[in-house]
Amino acid sequence: MSEKNFIKKALTETVMTRRSFLKWSAALGGTAALAGGLNFGLKTVEKAAAASAPEEIMTIGCYHNCGGRCILGAVVKDGTVVRLVPDPTTEEDPIHNPRAIPCLRGRSQIHRVYAAERLKYPLKRTGKRGEGKFERISWQEALDTIASELKRIKDKYGNESLYMHYASGVNWTGPNGRGPLARLMILFGGYMNYYNSYSTACYSSVMPYITGGSGNTADDVLNAKLVVLFGDNSVVTRAGGDNNGYYYMKAKENGTKFIVVDPIKTDTAAALEADWYPIYGGTDVALIAALSYVMVKENLYDKDFMATHSVGFDEDTLPEGAPANSSWMAYIMGQSDDGVEKTPEWASQITGLPAERIVNLAREMANTKPCAMFQGWGWQRRAYGEQPVRALPILAAMTGNFGVSGGGPGMRPSGMSFKITSAPPVPANPIKAAFPVFKWPDFITRGTEMTSGPVDRIHGADKLDASMKFMWNFGGNTIINQHSDVNGTAKVLQDESLLEFIVTVDVQMTPSARFSDIVLPETTGFESDNIITGEGHGEKGNHAWVLYNHQVVQPLFEDQPSLWIAEQLADRLGLGDAFRDGHQTPDDWMQDMVASAQKNYSDFPSLTDFKKVGIYKVSSNKPVIAFADFRADPVANPLATQTGKIEIYSPFLASQNDPKEIPAIPKYIPEWEGVSDPLRKKYPLLMSTTHWVARSHSTFDNVDYLREAHPQAIWINALDAKQRGIKNGDMVKVYNDRGEVHLPAYVTNRIRPGYTNMPQGGWYTPDSSGVDTRGCANVLTKYQPTPFAKGNPQHTNLVQVEKV
Amino acid sequence: MAKQMAFYVNIAECVGCKACQVACKDKNNLPDGIRWRRVFEYEGGEWVNQAGTLIPSNLFTYFVSAACMHCQNPICLEVCPAEAISKRADGIVLIDDQKCVGCRYCSWACPYGAPQFNEKLGVMTKCTFCSDLIDQGGHPACVDACPYRALEFGDLEELRAKHGNFDNPAPLPDPSFTNPSIVYGANGETEVSNQATGHIMNLEEIPNEHA
């Protein structure tokens, strides 16, 4: 992929200007102010130790999946973590190498480690799946049972029936995390693969059919005069202090103007003091078509660039074999099948934005140079999420910003990757078949019917040879909480004749753990040594780091790290020697990781020294400008698309023969359960399920400090609330045909009328009548994959809201 | 030594995440319901119908992080019958939990709601400016915590020289009674407290809602 290429190029071309080590021996003096202890539910932590006891800072990582990653120091005194401090390195350059100061989520880690829901012992299910009835068993019984079930199911159904589910709660580079279990399962003969994610299914799937890569590194946003964010709430989604949200704020201080197109005036929009365009969710392509229309009508675009660098912008650049009037120009000018001119007035009726504002926005975007356009991932987690991803780069190209500093291609920002291998390594899976991850319930109910055809889009094989019979759920909450239609999924899981065995490895008794047959208690980052890199989704700017995460407390109760769990199972499956491959301790694996880093960074320390310094950072003083070489010479430096150009018309997508739902050019497709669905007569309010500042997906939902700081609520516009007699803070019921949730209302003008938002990640907690009581948005979302990516449309929902 | 320790909070750099609030709770081990530092979600404006299209009118939103203001005329100190509240030479106002009888007069008197009753300990508690850390050359936990570097601390006059003397963003009260040791940075939407048109959105920070 060209994304990797240009990052690689950046690494070799630019000079690494700054490398910083932390001197970890610095002792912070002082004692906590309050006498007495605090009961965390499991353990009393005494905070008022003798004033003379020295404090030591040990580096630890925030290892969850916000995509941001940040650095913490645990202040340890008398063997206890007394408080946390942010990234303890010295900040020499706040732009090119900023400290990774964690957000509120990272700062609350102590209360996550000592949460009441922490798992303490291995558990065996005694009630029905989901009922939450378990009994404590020994590690020996748990491991023996899992080993014997693995063997039984493999013998009966084959390795294709074994599966490790999508999960993102734990992201160590090694030696713990998902890797050890994956390695074990490969040595055991392999397991069924998935492709895609719940984050970027549509973005990743269609990227090869538009730009072939992501945008400029986030530090380049400081060079923009105008930034337009489409559904990008980065100060919440990547809240920590060395991510793209930080760069947006720095750009604002620098005088850059921001515009936010979003149904919600997000914290990002508020903090950036952005001009807000409160669009109806799911109608972005209608807006983009109209913006494009204005630019053409008013001659505000770069005709030459479109002629030389794009495919299918107009009829002249259509590829061979494309039918007449199938270009973007034909579409916006009303010459394509629908015969509709994509005027601002047309778009106004759909988007809810006044036509005059659409015209002004088009002029401002075209006339302010450079203008950076970024898309969030929210708009592609919708019914037709493939379309907007491919549409925005058209505007970036038309306005002369594609491949330009301070501009960009209208994708997400990119970042630098730290070059270190993970360990223990996961060998290649002998099973090549992979299904789109959102369709995992189908893999349970009709796996053997799934094919490479348009319904299931199996990759790597023509069809699947088995249905799912064994599931590993490692550090994840996607088997019930984070997947669409919780009530429908529960029925699939409760039929034990289908999926025969579910093992969850986690640190908390999550809703997904409650649906498992065996639950194994894992250690948190406080209780095990690990190495982790700084890039979750690589949107940090042109810098990267790797961190040594120290074990700062003894493992609680019988909790064990995942490497130990995998080793124990390997021994039971006769794979002990193959699994260890000469590695007897976690340090042996970390030696391998350090050795790989030393190959890439000549002054990377030894493992012993890395433990002492804790952090190793690299940075460049120059941002990466994506596709600058392509801009300069598109023939010599083609994009990683089929045609080598900006693929407004995709021959591959055209070949799918589904012009209505997989059009060759991006189109506005009215959503089911969208703004124009007649179902609004019954369920009048659109509802999205965005990320929430107090959680990383569902991680942290049980942390008291965060629940207090940002209580779960459904956002509803003051006009919609007034109509329903709802006041700020009132308990409401939110329902549709799929379920019902009771939670407080946040009555605000920061969300457009007709639109509501229930942040995703609240833990599914049904009462006796099946009503969720903790704001689990997926009780209301629909299990209907997007047409091409088969992605999760979790922001496309219709609901009704009433006062309880 | 500073003559009067003070915080600087730049509203223009605050994204409302409350990392400061959580870091304060972590550092000071605060139980549920007690927030020595808090962040007000403040909002104003409305939606109006313009030729058949609903549009936002004069809509604004910003966040105000606030803790004990370590006032120059600390009313809490004046009303305390147990003489448990003192002002240090560097201006930091502290409650002596050995002397405090938990009568709550200070919490009623303070316009900022800074002193808060800790039921478990039976005493009033409030922001100590992390004086334990300060005294050893450290920083207040909240200041270090901000991912967006919106908080600073130092001597009040020095902060005023650097950032101005704005001390009354809405929804904070009129500062004239207590002379708070605080400097705020405003963004383009910030209202002045005596001309406020908006309202506090987060229920837990609405006065009297959870008294």
Interatomic CA distance for residues B96 and B113, integer angstroms: 18
- At residue A25, the 3 state secondary structure works out as coil
Residue A163 near residue A464 (C-beta atoms within 8 A): no
Cβ A697 vs Cβ A65: under 8 Å: yes
Give the CATH number of the domain where residue B48 resides.
Answer: 3.30.70.20
At residue A445, the 3 state secondary structure works out as helix
A85: nearest CB among B15, B22, B144:
B144
Would you state the pLDDT for residue A536?
A: 73
> Quick one: closest CA in A to B14, which residue?
A271
Specify whether the CB–CB gap between A733 and A802 falls below 8 A: yes
Whether pLDDT at A32 is above 70: no
Question: Which residues does chain B have within 8 Å of residue A719's beta carbon, measured at their own beta carbons?
Answer: 47, 54
At position A246, the amino acid (one-letter code) is Y
Q: Which residues of A touch B54 (CB under 8 A)?
A: 352, 719, 752-753
A336 conformational bin, left if phi > 0, alpha if psi -120 to 50, beta if neither: beta
Strand pairing of A123-125 and A134-136?
Answer: antiparallel
Q: Is residue B100 part of a domain?
A: no
Q: Is residue B32 part of a domain?
A: yes
pLDDT at residue A734 greater than cutoff 70:
yes
Give the count of beta carbons closer than 10 Å to the beta carbon of residue A49.
15
Residue A691 near residue A233 (C-beta atoms within 8 A): yes
Q: Is residue B10 part of a domain?
A: yes
Name every residue whose Cβ is closer than 8 Å to that of residue A723 and which is 6 or more positions away in sequence.
none
How far is the CA of B185 from the CAs of A111, B40, B92, B109, B159, in angstroms? 32, 15, 21, 26, 11
The pLDDT of residue A33 is 27
Residue A324, judged by CB atoms within 10 A of its CB (0-12, 13-18, 19+), counts as: exposed
A648 exposed, middle or buried (CB, 10 Å; 0-12, 13-18, 19+)? buried
Which three-class secondary structure string do you get for A562-622? HHHHHHHHHHHCCCHHHHHCCCCCHHHHHHHHHHHHHHHCCCCCCHHHHHHHCEEEEEECC
Is beta strand A615-620 parallel, antiparallel or unpaired with respect to A16-21? antiparallel
Distance CA A753, CA B59 (A): 14
Please indicate whether residue A535 or residue A654 has the higher confidence score (pLDDT).
Answer: A654
- d(Cα A192, Cα A458) in Å, to the nearest integer? 11
Min Cα separation B99/chain A (Å): 14
Give the contacts of A276 (CB within 8 A, at least 6 positions apart). A259, A260, A262, A265, A269, B56, B59
Which of B45, B46, B148 is facing A249, going by the closest CB pair? Answer: B148
A36, A235, A352 member nearest B121 (Cβ): A36
Which residues have CB under 8 Å from A624's CB, separation 6+?
Answer: A6, A7, A10, A216, A217, A220, A414, A416, A542
Does A121 score more than 70 pLDDT?
A: yes
A716 vs A349: CA distance, rounded Å: 21
Assigned domain for B110 exists: no
Residue type, A85: V
- Cα A641 from Cα A1, distance rounded (Å): 9
Domain that residue B178 falls in? 5-69+129-205
Give the confidence band of A1 by pLDDT, cuts at 50, 70, 90: very low
Structure confidence at residue A182 (pLDDT) = 98
| pLDDT computed for residue A673 by the predictor | 98
Report CB contact under 8 Å: A267, B148. Answer: no
Q: Binning pLDDT at 50, 70 and 90, where does residue A52 land?
A: low
pLDDT digits (tens, 9 = 90+) for A64-99: 998 889 999 999 998 899 999 999 998 889 999 999
Contact (CB, 8 A) for A595 and A395 = no
Q: Which of A37-51, A101-115, A638-652 has the lowest mean pLDDT?
A: A37-51
Give the pLDDT confidence score for residue B208 in this predicted structure.
58
CB within 8 Å: B201 and A746: yes
How far is Cα A265 from Cα A750, in angstroms, rounded to an integer?
Answer: 5
What is the pLDDT averaged over residues A476-501? Answer: 98
* pLDDT per residue as tens digits for the range A366-387: 999 999 999 999 999 999 999 9
Q: Could you give all domains of chain A from N- to C-terminal order, each with its CATH number? A: 2-116+534-550+614-620 (no CATH), 123-191+419-525 (3.40.50.740), 214-411+626-654 (3.40.228.10), 678-803 (2.40.40.20)
Query: How much is the pLDDT for A635?
Result: 97
Helix (H, G, I), strand (E, B), or coil: what is residue A42? coil
Whether residue A277 has pLDDT greater than 70: yes
**A contacts of B132 (beta carbons < 8 Å):** 30-33
Chain B: closest CA distance from residue A367 (Å)? 24
User: Whole-angstrom Cα distance, residue B186 to residue B12?
Assistant: 6
- A245: Cβ–Cβ under 8 A, 6 or more apart, which residues? A234, A235, A236, A237, A238, A239, A268, B15
- Give the separation between CA A534 and CA A61, rounded to whole angstroms: 9
Could you give the ipTM of this predicted complex? 0.97
Question: Which pLDDT value is given to residue B14?
Answer: 98
H or E segment to which residue B200 belongs: strand B199-200
Interface of B with A in 177-196 (CB under 8 A): 187-189
Nearest Cβ partner for B19 among A83, A104, A744: A104
pLDDT higher than 50, residue A409: yes
d(CA A145, CA B75): 66
Nearest CA in chain B to A754: B54
The predicted model gives A769-794 an average pLDDT of 98
The answer to whether residues A271 and A234 touch, using CB atoms and an 8 Å cutoff, is no
Non-local CB neighbours of A460 within 8 Å, separated by 6+ positions? A193, A432, A433, A434
Q: What's the CA dihedral at B95, B98, B101, B104 to 10 degrees?
A: 20
Q: Measuring CA to CA, how many Å separate A50 from each of A46, B120, B131?
A: 11, 22, 17
DSSP assignment of A270-327: HHTTPEEE-PPTT-HHHHHHHHHHHHHHTT-S-HHHHHHHEESSSGGGPPTTPPTT-S
Q: Radius of gyration over alpha carbons of chain A, in Å? A: 26
d(CA B155, CA A85): 23
Average pLDDT over every residue of A436-457:
98
Q: Which residues of chain B have pLDDT under 70?
A: 1, 208-211
Three-state SS for A684?
coil
Q: How large a percentage of chain A has pLDDT more than 90? A: 91
- Provide the chain B residues 52-81 that lie in CB contact (below 8 A) with chain A: 53-56, 59, 61-63
Q: Which residues contact A732 (CB under 8 A, 6 or more apart)?
A: A714, A716, A724, A726, A742, A743, A744, A745, A801, A802, A803, A804
The total number of structural domains in chain B stands at 1
**Is some CB atom of chain A closer than 8 A to the CB atom of B21?**
yes
Interchain contact, A753 vs B54, CB within 8 Å: yes
Are the beta carbons of A34 and B28 separated by less than 8 Å? yes
Q: What is the DSSP string of A220-247?
A: GGGG-SEEEEES--HHHHT-STTSHHHH
| H/E element, A491 | helix A486-494
- Nearest to residue A276, comparing CAs of A686, A796, A748? A748
How far apart, in whole angstroms, are the C-alpha atoms of residue A427 and residue A389?
33
Mean pLDDT of chain A: 93
CA–CA separation, A783 vs A390, rounded Å?
23
**Can you read off the two tokens belonging to residue A774?**
């903790």
Q: Say if B97 falls within a structural domain.
A: no
A701 within 8 A of A743, measured Cβ to Cβ: no
**pLDDT tier for residue A538 given thresholds of 50, 70 and 90:** confident
Q: How many pairs of residues across A and B have Cβ atoms under 8 Å apart?
A: 170
B178 DSSP assignment = T
Q: How far apart are CA A48 and CA B121, in angstroms?
A: 14
Listed residue (A164, A134, A113, A146) closest to A514, CA to CA: A134
- Residue A35, pLDDT above cutoff 60: no
Is B89 part of a structural domain of the chain? no
pLDDT tens string A454-482: 999 999 999 999 999 999 999 999 999 99
Q: What is the spatial distance between Cα B94 and Cα B109, in angstroms, rounded to a whole number?
A: 16
What are the structure tokens assigned to B196, written together?
A: 């406020």
pLDDT greater than 80 at residue A9: no
pLDDT, residue A68, reads: 85
Q: Judge whether residue A801 has pLDDT over 60.
A: yes
B30 within a domain of the structure (yes/no)? yes
In a domain, B102, yes or no: no
- Residues B78 and B10 sit within 8 Å (Cβ to Cβ): no
- Determine the Cα angle at A510 with ends A157 and A739, to 5°: 90
Are the CB atoms for A96 and A621 separated by under 8 Å?
A: yes
CA distance B11 to A233: 18
CA-to-CA distance for A647 and A386, rounded, in angstroms?
Answer: 14
Q: Which amino acid is at A361?
A: L
